[in-house]
Amino acid sequence: MSIFDFAAGTDPTMGESAAVCSRKACRSQASWQLLWNNPKIHTPERRKTWLACGDHREWLQDYLQTRGLWKETVPLEDGRVSGALEQDS
Ligand SMILES: [Zn+2]
């Protein structure tokens, strides 16, 4: 099962507009960034970013923590993503 089965972000039409929660089917404004790294496919310094609304921050964080991928959760200020948003693999 792919980790991406559970998160949106593969839809290119979402573009670079508003920061929307990465939880599949959730269209809420994101207020958190979850930074993660998959040691199997990423170098240690690499950070992938998922966005989360208040309702799904815990869910997504738990999902990543369960798989040993989670690194950090930081607030998303003013709907702006501080780093490069990468949701592809
Ligand atoms: Zn959400």
**Tell me: the pLDDT tens digits for 3-57?**
555 555 545 444 555 789 999 999 999 999 999 999 999 999 999 999 999 999 9
Residue 62 CA to residue 7 CA, distance in Å, equals 13
pLDDT digits (tens, 9 = 90+) for 57-75: 999 999 999 999 999 999 9
Rounded to the nearest angstrom, the distance between the alpha carbon of 14 and the centre of ligand 1 is 15
Q: What is the pLDDT, as a whole number, of residue 88?
A: 47
Rounded to the nearest angstrom, the distance between the alpha carbon of 24 and the centre of ligand 1 is 8
3-state secondary structure of 52: strand
The residue ranges of every structural domain in the chain are: 22-89
Question: What is the pTM (predicted TM-score) of this model?
Answer: 0.69
Rounded to the nearest angstrom, the distance between the alpha carbon of 43 and the centre of ligand 1 is 28
pLDDT confidence band for 79 (50 / 70 / 90): low
DSSP class of 25: T
Rounded to the nearest angstrom, the distance between the alpha carbon of 9 and the centre of ligand 1 is 12
